[in-house]
Amino acid sequence: MKQILNFINGEYVGNASGKTYEKRNPVDNSLIGMVHEAGQPEVDAAVAAARAALHGPWGKLSVVERCAMLDGLVAEINHRFDDFLQAEIADTGKPAHLASHIDIPRGAANFKIFTDTIKNVSTESFEMRTPDGKTARSYGVRTPRGVIAIICPWNLPLLLMTWKAGPALACGNTVVVKPSEATPSTATLLGEVMNKVGVPPGVYNVVNGFGTNSAGSFLTAHPGVNGVTFTGETKTGTAIMKAAADGIRPVSLELGGKNAAVVFADCDFDNAVNTVTRSVFENCGQVCLGTERVYVERPIFDKFVAALKVKAETMKPGRPFDPDTKIGPLVSKVHQKKVLSYYAKAKEEGATVVFGGGVPDMPDDLKDGCWVQPTIWTGLPETASVVREEIFGPCCHIQPFDTEEEAVRMANDTQYGLATSIYTQDIGRASRLATQIEVGLCWINSWFLRDLRTPFGGSKQSGIGREGGVHSLEFYTELRNVMIKY
């Protein structure tokens, strides 16, 4: 049986308690391996190793030397592409075409984008005259923040982890990563790559386990941690922010969403249908930026609903490496139960089920997997819980609107503010809505198109802070001012 261990100070280790839990494949519920849950002793050891590494060979590297080492990670991940692909797919069940085009290549590229950033960023400098007639020059210096705790979700496990480990390490910090309990494999495997390219022990550590009363809360509450960066649900972000308040540790929070797409009658119809299809169903709807509310201008409402239904009908569920597979399962039984509870609630609340609403009929060998049907609803009031709460499944509610003002009001009527996408040929209207809809990320006639130099993050209860390009440096470095008098 495969053992999924913790990675502490450059070595794979179990735990003092002997506590393990089963990791099962969401495609067919088969057992992948046993995960060794880190307790307080392992979290203490990981944080101590990370702190010691700050003052060891890692801390003495120049920026250029450090970046060369991290660029080596990209080559080594690509060299072991199939190992990462197999591990990610076994943990998540996602289709191979998705993981091989997004998860693994972007997971590797995240190191390169931030080594390029840190090598090319400048700091400000000012000169002034002093009262005694001398001169003083101030300049900024970016120093590492210290030991960074990285708490990750399960939807894009490697990609979202390196999105934080990449800039953290490029800036000279050391990290302790707590992957989601549902997806421990690729973060753990990355330890082998770190050792292979010569990243010193203690720079990158992984503690496996759960959140509350487990590795997650032990790590975020640890006094040896200098900053906590988190991606996950808003309610978990609240708990993490409270934990980080002790010791005044900064947080970077990328949280949940209930993202709206706004489709005007003058849009390029095929582009809008194709792009909304992706934004609702890709990764089985388990994308933080995904669309769960679609607002369509009334003259094209019926045509749009019918076209999206046709697309949903083509979403064939199946095994990850089957070339016909268009959609995978949800990540776990726990998540399947949650999504299905919303499917039931939608019916109770009086939705018209345009498509789906249940579990697809699967062959016997896949029946135990975490499958749900792609689902489209109409006819609910904006107060319905499936219109207000984040479901994180392959589903959306479609609502008609008559005026631009009404569309903006409905899009903004949420506690969340992560992302939106607007479909129209009227560029004036698009740019108006881009400022009026309260989000961190706005796409016009597109979705999920990313330039990694740009800021990424949510407003309202979708997060605090921006990461990406130079914006990541605000969190992963301390900006110190030096003044010289001469």
Region at 350 (left for phi over 0; alpha for psi -120 to 50; beta for the rest): left
The residue within the footprint of ligand NAD, chosen from 20, 115, 155, 375 (CB under 6 A), is 155
| 296/464 with CB nearer ligand NAD | 464
| 66/106 with CB nearer ligand NAD | 106
3-state secondary structure of 446: coil
Among the residue ranges 101-109, 215-223, 422-430, 473-481, the one whose residues contact ligand NAD (CB under 6 A) = 215-223
Q: What's the burial of 44, exposed, middle or buried (CB within 10 Å: 0-12/13-18/19+)? A: middle
The sheet with strand 125-129 has its strands ordered as 125-129, 135-144, 477-485
Residue type at position 362:
M
Residue 458 makes contact with ligand NAD by CB under 6 A: yes
In whole angstroms, the minimum distance from the beta carbon of 79 to ligand NAD comes to: 27
Residue 99: C-alpha distances to residues 94, 155, 180, 418 (Å): 7, 11, 17, 23
Residue 275: C-alpha distances to residues 170, 186, 321, 324, 437 (Å): 34, 29, 24, 20, 19
The residue within the footprint of ligand NAD, chosen from 240, 384, 430, 441 (CB under 6 A), is 240
In the block, tokens 């076994």 appear at 90
The candidate with the shortest Cα–Cα distance to 71, out of 7, 156, 166, 158, is: 166
| 309/345 with CB nearer ligand NAD | 345
Residue 172 makes contact with ligand NAD by CB under 6 A: no
Over the window 460 to 479, marking each residue x when it contacts ligand NAD by CB under 6 A and - when it does not, the resulting string is --xx----------------
The candidate with the shortest Cα–Cα distance to 215, out of 33, 90, 47, is: 47
In the block, tokens 């800039």 appear at 167
In whole angstroms, the minimum distance from the beta carbon of 156 to ligand NAD comes to: 7
| 272/396 with CB nearer ligand NAD | 396
Question: Which helix (H) or strand (E) segment is 306 a member of?
Answer: helix 301-313
- Residues labelled as active-site residues: 254
Residue type at position 298:
R
In whole angstroms, the minimum distance from the beta carbon of 305 to ligand NAD comes to: 25
Give the strand pairing for 174-178 and 204-206. parallel
Q: Determine the residue with CB nearest ligand NAD.
A: 211
In the block, tokens 């990290």 appear at 175
The residue within the footprint of ligand NAD, chosen from 48, 52, 61, 239 (CB under 6 A), is 239
The sheet with strand 6-8 has its strands ordered as 11-13, 6-8, 204-206, 174-178, 147-151, 227-231, 251-254, 463-464
Q: Cα separation of 27 and 358, whole Å? A: 17
Residue 178 makes contact with ligand NAD by CB under 6 A: yes
Residue 216 makes contact with ligand NAD by CB under 6 A: yes
In whole angstroms, the minimum distance from the beta carbon of 217 to ligand NAD comes to: 4
DSSP string, 43-108: HHHHHHHHHHHHTSHHHHS-HHHHHHHHHHHHHHHHHTHHHHHHHHHHHH---HHHIIIIIHHHHH
| 69/452 with CB nearer ligand NAD | 452
In whole angstroms, the minimum distance from the beta carbon of 384 to ligand NAD comes to: 19
Residue 210 makes contact with ligand NAD by CB under 6 A: yes
Q: Cα separation of 238 and 235, whole Å? A: 5
The residue within the footprint of ligand NAD, chosen from 83, 233, 349, 404 (CB under 6 A), is 233
The residue within the footprint of ligand NAD, chosen from 9, 92, 217, 283 (CB under 6 A), is 217
Residue 154: C-alpha distances to residues 108, 277, 416 (Å): 17, 22, 20
In whole angstroms, the minimum distance from the beta carbon of 474 to ligand NAD comes to: 16
The residue within the footprint of ligand NAD, chosen from 220, 277, 279, 373 (CB under 6 A), is 220
In whole angstroms, the minimum distance from the beta carbon of 64 to ligand NAD comes to: 30
CB distance 191 to 213 below 8 Å: no
Residue 181 makes contact with ligand NAD by CB under 6 A: yes
Residue 231 makes contact with ligand NAD by CB under 6 A: yes
Residue 383 makes contact with ligand NAD by CB under 6 A: no
| 25/236 with CB nearer ligand NAD | 236
Residue 35 makes contact with ligand NAD by CB under 6 A: no
Site for ligand NAD in 247-286 (CB under 6 A): 254-257
| 172/216 with CB nearer ligand NAD | 216
| 297/467 with CB nearer ligand NAD | 467
Contacts with ligand NAD by CB under 6 A lie at 151-155, 160, 178, 180-181, 210-212, 216-217, 220, 231-233, 236, 239-240, 254-257, 288, 390, 392, 418, 458, 462-463
